[in-house]
Amino acid sequence: VDTAKLKTTGFASLASMADAKAGFLARVPSSGKTEAIPLDASIDRVLANAISARWAIPPFEKSAMDGYAIMAADSFGASVQKPCVLQLEGDVAIGDVPSVTVSRGTGAKISTGAMIPAGADAVIKIEDTELANDRITFRLYRQIAPGGNIIQSGEDYKDGQPVLPAGRRIRPQDIGVLATLGFARLQVIARPTVTIFATGNELVELDGLRQDEDGLVDPRKAGSCKLIDSNRHAIAAFAGHAGGKVIRAAMLPDDEGEISEAIASAVASCDMVITTGGTSVGERDFIPAVVGKDYEILYHGIAMKPGAATLLGTAKGKPILGLSGFPVAAEIGMLYFGMPAIRKLAGETVLDPRTRVHARLADAVAVKGFGMTRLLRVAFDYGGVMGNELPKAIPVKLSGSGMQRSMVESDGFVEIGPDIEGYEAGDVVVVTLHPR
Amino acid sequence: VDTAKLKTTGFASLASMADAKAGFLARVPSSGKTEAIPLDASIDRVLANAISARWAIPPFEKSAMDGYAIMAADSFGASVQKPCVLQLEGDVAIGDVPSVTVSRGTGAKISTGAMIPAGADAVIKIEDTELANDRITFRLYRQIAPGGNIIQSGEDYKDGQPVLPAGRRIRPQDIGVLATLGFARLQVIARPTVTIFATGNELVELDGLRQDEDGLVDPRKAGSCKLIDSNRHAIAAFAGHAGGKVIRAAMLPDDEGEISEAIASAVASCDMVITTGGTSVGERDFIPAVVGKDYEILYHGIAMKPGAATLLGTAKGKPILGLSGFPVAAEIGMLYFGMPAIRKLAGETVLDPRTRVHARLADAVAVKGFGMTRLLRVAFDYGGVMGNELPKAIPVKLSGSGMQRSMVESDGFVEIGPDIEGYEAGDVVVVTLHPR
């Protein structure tokens, strides 16, 4: 990192974003705490143990069609011109154990999903047959190979086959297969607990102001230069999205003693501490002093924009994340460091699952901050995109780490590497999507 | 649709998937019910009303830097060789209303985020200045233009500017801006209520079987050809993911009278009814008969694979969705018809927000079912993908609408259009990602 170019950040030197992310996450422990929960409550939770098939799925041979279960050899040579005639031995309904046995020259009516009766090795579709008026015999108009229209036992999963790995975040379709395998309850990893502190003497609490009948508050009533602490609410929402359980979110004054005391109590009582504000190198930036004195600073000053004034630390083995007070910088720090840390605490194997989508830049982009990773906010535009063409990425033309609109109106980031000075319109870029 | 090619489905004719989706969704109403909830509970809920800025953001001019608030004209011509000297009038701390006024030849120390004092029209960075030993004057080593390092009032949002549209699903960053705007409570659209019925005489209920100490059940104890009803659990999880509130999920026997009665009671008490199983054209497929007799079938038999035996209907203005009993076909019907319908009921403007990602097929794919939209399940492989190369899409090599593994191990679908017979390895395809 060319420190001469970075003088404007106020940091003597900056760590590369990739190094900071890797180094910080390496120091985040994985939780060992697990809990048993009902299957239907397990969506988005993290599997504590690998799951294997407790029996074969399907557990028995079944019919893929409505038709007749037969011995395939009896169909050989059958055609519309020259049908074969077999004797009807009975019916197999779905959910019933077959009471009939199929032998040469016979067959049993069978419905889709029903268990194949003993002796049969194929099912001929109802459309390729005709039941005689006597209802004692039926004709085959087509031949079928052994195994035809039979779903084999174990075709989906063999008995004992791995189904889901430990550390997997559970999706709806996973709940389906877990139900099939008889998991009425599941062992999942306990949600890591998170405390969030916002600092800043200009801030007032949303919940501390008088609401009108519509639930609206007005910070100007607290003073003409007061602002509502919005970071705490956004960061709590991102923390919950990553699987964290926010057990406390509070505001702290710009006072080193009070900050130190509050962080100590949070470190003692939860799995991760996140602060916003007070992380830069100014007179009232107390977070680096507190973390440096009481705990360990891993990285302070990161070659990224917005977000240079992010602090990554560790406190008695627990991650401590000092986010900027600027909303966009705080949210970016949360996306790149905070959410992966929560996922690691939560035992997840995939720490940053954001989707990466290729797109074509709609406009040229000239970027400042050479030597830093710049996080350009872009919105997708699918208008006029044909067939397999890439979607267009429209740069959200807002600079500044305080511009909340740039996060609200964008779909993701183009991560502009430290050595890139800009893009031409039409360049292909990779967009890292915001969590959704 | 070439019906000759489609004979295997047992349907006389099939609607195109796009027509069925559009026609069904056009008949789904948008809920008018709203409720007020606390901001911190609003993640993933749907905004009932458009939100505009209640005041400018930021509401006042503030400093983007630690430095001195000055009149820019006083800096003109300043350089390291030839600094200008100004008189220090006082300090402006963040969160305080400035008590000083800046005039020609003077300046005030100011911290990042603090309100610009009257008279000042620029902030010169602390690094470009030096405080004299007397602490009464300070030097400027650089000139600055008017407006420099000042964040203008309204730079993020002007007073009254639209912020979020009605029908928007709330993201974490939206919660941030809503907090800034003083929304302690929000009007959101009430979650639509959904009833799910699973039919099939081969099914037993997960919750109806005796659990061992680990919460495991074994359907084989209920009979050697019994299966646990897994669809109900997976479909409920997908419904919840889309914003629905599953108020009842139950199993029904394959009995037309009981099914008719249960659906009537659900139609009377909730916003949407979903069934699984019994939607094909066999003897025990009672859903089409019940919906056709008591309500209105919009589409039955859709040119898609899996999922041809999906029924789309309307019952007293409420959507009714008859999903296949095959797990994969049921999940696909839920993804393409059920979840968009729930989102429309929930007042969302984006009905199918699944991400579409370009990828390169790792293997050739030969597809059957010409004339139908085939939903190929693929998994991403980023191994060996360099720079801006597209990720690889690995076809999950499982056919059959019963293969749950194909949904569990895949990341999304390649929607293979009705007139496509296959792909070569290396072809670029668009993958529609599973909800996550």
Residue owning tokens 């025990």: B284
User: Do B328 and B36 meet the contact criterion of CB atoms below 8 Å apart?
Assistant: no
Other beta carbons within 10 Å of A9: 20
pLDDT band at B2 (very low <50, low <70, confident <90, very high): very low
Average pLDDT over residues B293-307: 96
Average pLDDT over residues B88-109: 94
In this structure, the strands spanning A245-252 and A193-199 are parallel
User: Do A169 and A348 meet the contact criterion of CB atoms below 8 Å apart?
Assistant: yes
The pair of structure tokens assigned to B20 is: 């069925």
Other beta carbons within 10 Å of A69: 29
User: Do A430 and A414 meet the contact criterion of CB atoms below 8 Å apart?
Assistant: yes
Going from the C-alpha of A275 to that of each of A263, A290, B84, B184, the distances in angstroms are 9, 12, 39, 21
For A:315-374, CB contacts with B below 8 A are 325, 327, 331, 353, 355-358
Q: Amino acid letter at B245?
A: K
Q: Do A206 and B225 touch (CB under 8 A)?
A: no
Q: Do B403 and A93 touch (CB under 8 A)?
A: no
Query: For the segment B112-155, what is each residue's pLDDT rounded down to a tens digit?
Result: 889 999 999 999 999 999 999 989 999 999 999 999 999 999 99
Q: Do A241 and B407 touch (CB under 8 A)?
A: no
Give chain B positions within 8 Å (CB) of A405.
Answer: 156-157, 163, 177
Looking at the complex, does the CB of residue A177 fall below 8 Å from at least one CB of chain B? yes
Q: What is the pLDDT of residue A129?
A: 95
Smallest CA–CA distance from B429 into chain A, residue: A388
Where does residue B234 rank: exposed (0-12), middle (13-18), buried (19+ CB within 10 A)? buried
The pair of structure tokens assigned to B43 is: 């993640």
Q: What is the pLDDT of residue A367?
A: 85
Looking at the complex, does the CB of residue B131 fall below 8 Å from at least one CB of chain A? no
Going from the C-alpha of B116 to that of each of A203, B123, B154, the distances in angstroms are 17, 9, 14
Please tell me chain B's helix, strand, coil percentages from 3-state DSSP, rounded to the nearest 5: 25, 30, 45
Strands of A49-168 (E only): list them. 51-52, 62-63, 67-70, 84-92, 106-110, 122-125, 129-131, 137-140, 150-151, 162-164
User: Do B166 and B49 meet the contact criterion of CB atoms below 8 Å apart?
Assistant: yes
The pair of structure tokens assigned to B349 is: 């403007």
Q: Do A436 and B171 touch (CB under 8 A)?
A: yes
Query: For the segment B358-415, what is each residue's pLDDT rounded down to a tens digit?
Result: 999 999 998 888 899 999 999 999 888 888 899 999 999 656 777 999 999 999 999 9
Query: What ipTM was reported for this prediction?
Result: 0.94
Average pLDDT, chain B: 93
User: Do B263 and B322 meet the contact criterion of CB atoms below 8 Å apart?
Assistant: no
The pair of structure tokens assigned to B68 is: 């001195």
d(CA B258, CA B252): 7
Q: What is the pLDDT of residue B247?
A: 96
Name residues of chain A where pLDDT drops below 50: 1-8
Q: Which of A56, A110, A236, A231 is nearest to B405 (CA)?
A: A56
User: Do A226 and A203 meet the contact criterion of CB atoms below 8 Å apart?
Assistant: yes
Q: What is the pLDDT of residue B48?
A: 97
Give chain B positions within 8 Å (CB) of A155.
Answer: 400, 402-403
For B:194-223, CB contacts with A below 8 A are 200-203, 206-207, 209, 211, 214-220, 223
The partner residue sitting opposite A355, judged by closest CB among B164, B179, B355, is B355
Q: Which of A42, A45, A188, A230 to mutate to test the interface with B (most CBs of B within 10 A)?
A: A230
Give chain A positions within 8 Å (CB) of B216.
Answer: 54, 182-185
Of A217-221, A337-341, B17-21, B242-246, the poorest mean pLDDT is in A217-221
Helix (H) / strand (E) element for B182: namely: none
Looking at the complex, does the CB of residue A81 fall below 8 Å from at least one CB of chain B? no
Q: Do A357 and B353 touch (CB under 8 A)?
A: no
Looking at the complex, does the CB of residue B268 fall below 8 Å from at least one CB of chain A? no
Q: What is the pLDDT of residue B380?
A: 94
d(CA B263, CA B57): 51
Q: What is the pLDDT of residue B7?
A: 44
d(CA A34, CA A187): 6
